[in-house]
Chains A and B, each alone.
Chain A
Amino acid sequence: MNWFVRTKEKIFSGVRKQIPDGIWQKCPKCGEVIYFKELDKNARVCTKCSYHFRIYSEDYLELLADNGLFAEFNIAISSEDPLKFRIPKRYTDSIQTAKRKTGLNEAVRTAELTIQSIPVVVAAMDFRFIGGSMGSAVGEKIARAADRALKRNIPLIIISASGGARMQEGVLSLMQMAKTSARLSLLAEKGLPYISVLTDPTTGGVSASYAMLGDINIAEPGALIGFAGQRVIKQTIGQDLPNGFQRSEFLLEKGLIDLICDRRQLKSTIYKFLQFNYA
């Protein structure tokens, strides 16, 4: 088991690695110029307009974990290239590039950690790794995270960030939707809570499997969440899409998610649900 220890001052170190130059960032929504240091202290939420910048797997794990401490498991699980996929480039090359760029083996991290001393299993997807797409390795890691929760008899949290199933694995990636959803049914039968956190973006095969199956579905503000891609919908219906279509606020209005939660309150909100479960 690999333990990662973070000090409180370096909560969002993973993100900082992404942006080596400059000491400030401009908010794409309100234009405010914010120092990284300020942004990091604020869970990478704009200090002026609350725009949520993207954060990644280790950031979410640190954000939720007591003292930023989590024990990652199944780190070695990694993609193969069962189809010998070559268009437009070798899938194996895409995997290698993603690994080098992110330091990850796959588009999801799975870990055990505690939230206000309540042990949980958390799977956090990572959009940097081939768009957070789900292939066999992601499916297997999610499935085993569910197994871990079952074995430990503790709740499961999945934080989604994904463009959908990974085309380069063809039907095998489609079948990961089945694999992960089937595993969640075991949790349901054992009465274990499953919390789904939907972040920007959660679309396609991930939204049409575990991301929408939470006992509670929590979305970050302004996240793109939906089944079909906007370009495909536009082409099919031949008209423009309404403002805010497929955003968290739209889904809340349509009754598809339980609540929208500011990232700065994510941990305390999840804690309330865990506390409710054990109270």
Chain B
Amino acid sequence: MAKIILDFEKKIYDLEARIGELKTSSELSGYSVDAEVESLSQKLNELIRETFSNLSRWQRVQLARHPDRPYTLDYIQRIITDWVELHGDRQFGDDKSIIGGIGLLDGMGVMIIGHQKGRNVKENMKRNYGMPHPEGYRKALRLMKMAEKLKKPVITIIDTPGAYPGIEAEERGQSEAIARNLLEMSRLRTPVINMVIGEGASGGALGIGIGDRLLMLENTWYSVISPEGCASILLRDASKAKEAAEAMRVTAQDMLELGVADRIIEEPLGGAHRHYDETALRVRQVLSEELKQLTRLSTEELLKRRYKKIAAIGVYSE
């Protein structure tokens, strides 16, 4: 598959290609180009630093959707040992756009539930582009209840362009499935960590998104509607998504400032899609640390804090 390169990444990839060519030609000719490679590499690092320290909201949205970005299973492979995937909602079917299962994180038993996107068209047929039907949310709830019963913490991994808007999804109660999860997650008697690794679109994200801590990778977005959806409704033009992303303030940094997110996980320079292992390592360290703190709390204290955290969100006057 051809590498997908975003507009603002193009200079970076061009420079990398030039360095690569230089090295190859040096090997063939025998001439040393070390000095030039060294200078270009420095330039490359500067370029990456410059590009990634000035990202607009829209650029972050694009990174969050980058087709090479690590997805839920990429993290699970790297941070969870003895992973066993568990399937099905016990009522209708197995939604493959939300996966769930058990495993160990640094030796601690955890329940992992996350949206799963596909890497190519074939995978996306199976994963439905990470857009769940009601049975996905019901599977998620079933697994959360199991974790509650077995007194194991839950980690939910959020990465969805939205709950699926389709006839069958409506017939089977998309609204009810999401609503039920909101209610049940708010009182689940075990620690719940929510982590956004890519896209956090609306109710589709929130449906597995309530818990004690909301962590967001640096280049992710979260909002009530996609920038395209907002632009198409308010500006009658979906191509004005960039404006909508700015207006709605959708980035991880915005979420921190609005009191919605609790912590940002910094991505290695150049973005998670260029550094799977390093990103996963950081995620593992943060999750481990957060879990240790949460598991120290009594269930009553945990629920009290969760309730207060949810109740505090919002800005109004009276």
Tell me whether A and B are bound partners. Answer: yes
Assess whether A233 is in contact with B167, with CB atoms less than 8 Å apart.
Answer: yes
Complex Cα gap A208–B180 (Å): 8
The residue from B180, B186, B222, B248 contacting A83, defined by CB atoms under 8 A apart:
B248
List chain A residues, Cβ under 8 A from B175. 207-208, 211-212, 225-227, 256
List chain A residues, Cβ under 8 A from B318. 74, 76-78
Residues A73-104 near B (CB distance < 8 A): 74, 76-80, 82-83, 85-88
The residue from B164, B248, B313 contacting A178, defined by CB atoms under 8 A apart:
B313
List chain A residues, Cβ under 8 A from B247. 83, 85-87, 170
The residue from B166, B172, B176 contacting A212, defined by CB atoms under 8 A apart:
B176
How many residues of chain B have a CB within 8 Å of chain A? Answer: 55
Residue of A170, A229, A236 with highest tally of chain B CB at under 10 A:
A170
List chain B residues, Cβ under 8 A from A211. 175, 179
B238 to chain A, nearest CB (A): 10
Complex Cα gap A242–B171 (Å): 11
List chain A residues, Cβ under 8 A from B170. 226-228, 233, 245-246
List chain B residues, Cβ under 8 A from A176. 313-314
Assess whether A236 is in contact with B206, with CB atoms less than 8 Å apart.
Answer: no
Assess whether A184 is in contact with B183, with CB atoms less than 8 Å apart.
Answer: yes
Complex Cα gap A139–B316 (Å): 10
* B269 at the A interface (CB under 8 A): no
Interface 0/1 of A229-248, CB less than 8 Å to B: 10011001100011001100
How many residues of chain A have a CB within 8 Å of chain B? Answer: 64
Assess whether A83 is in contact with B249, with CB atoms less than 8 Å apart.
Answer: yes
Complex Cα gap A173–B206 (Å): 12
Assess whether A171 is in contact with B250, with CB atoms less than 8 Å apart.
Answer: yes
The residue from B163, B167, B180, B307 contacting A237, defined by CB atoms under 8 A apart:
B167
Assess whether A179 is in contact with B176, with CB atoms less than 8 Å apart.
Answer: no
* B102 at the A interface (CB under 8 A): no
Assess whether B167 is in contact with A172, with CB atoms less than 8 Å apart.
Answer: no
* A110 at the B interface (CB under 8 A): no
A22 to chain B, nearest CB (A): 32
* B51 at the A interface (CB under 8 A): no
* B291 at the A interface (CB under 8 A): no
* A192 at the B interface (CB under 8 A): no
Count of inter-chain pairs, beta carbons less than 8 A: 195
List chain B residues, Cβ under 8 A from A226. 170, 174-175
* B255 at the A interface (CB under 8 A): yes
**Of B77-85, B229-237, B274-282, the one with at least 4 CB within 8 A of chain A:** B229-237
Assess whether A179 is in contact with B235, with CB atoms less than 8 Å apart.
Answer: no
**Taking CB as reference atom, which chain A residue is nearest B166?**
A237
Assess whether A175 is in contact with B179, with CB atoms less than 8 Å apart.
Answer: no
B88 to chain A, nearest CB (A): 20
Assess whether A169 is in contact with B224, with CB atoms less than 8 Å apart.
Answer: yes
Complex Cα gap A227–B165 (Å): 8
Assess whether A87 is in contact with B183, with CB atoms less than 8 Å apart.
Answer: no
A272 to chain B, nearest CB (A): 23
* A143 at the B interface (CB under 8 A): yes
Complex Cα gap A183–B316 (Å): 18
Given known A-B contacts A174-B206, A237-B167, A212 and B179 have beta carbons under 8 A apart: yes
Given known A-B contacts A140-B314, A178-B210, A208 and B178 have beta carbons under 8 A apart: yes
* A34 at the B interface (CB under 8 A): no
List chain B residues, Cβ under 8 A from A227. 163, 165, 169-170, 174-175, 178, 203
* A5 at the B interface (CB under 8 A): no
Assess whether A185 is in contact with B183, with CB atoms less than 8 Å apart.
Answer: yes
Residues B294-318 near A (CB distance < 8 A): 307, 310-311, 313-318
A166 to chain B, nearest CB (A): 8
Complex Cα gap A135–B248 (Å): 13
Name B's A-contacting residues (CB within 8 A).
Answer: 163-167, 169-176, 178-180, 182-184, 186-187, 202-203, 206-207, 209-210, 222-225, 229-230, 233-235, 243-244, 247-250, 254-255, 258, 260, 307, 310-311, 313-318
Q: Enumerate the 9 nearest inter-chain pairs by beta-carbon distance, A residue then B residue, closest first.
A: A136-B314, A228-B165, A182-B186, A181-B182, A82-B315, A170-B248, A174-B224, A227-B174, A207-B175
Other than the known A171-B249, A205-B224, A226-B170, what 12 A-B pairs have Cβ atoms closer than 8 Å? A77-B316, A83-B247, A87-B247, A169-B315, A174-B224, A175-B313, A185-B186, A212-B175, A213-B179, A226-B175, A236-B164, A255-B173
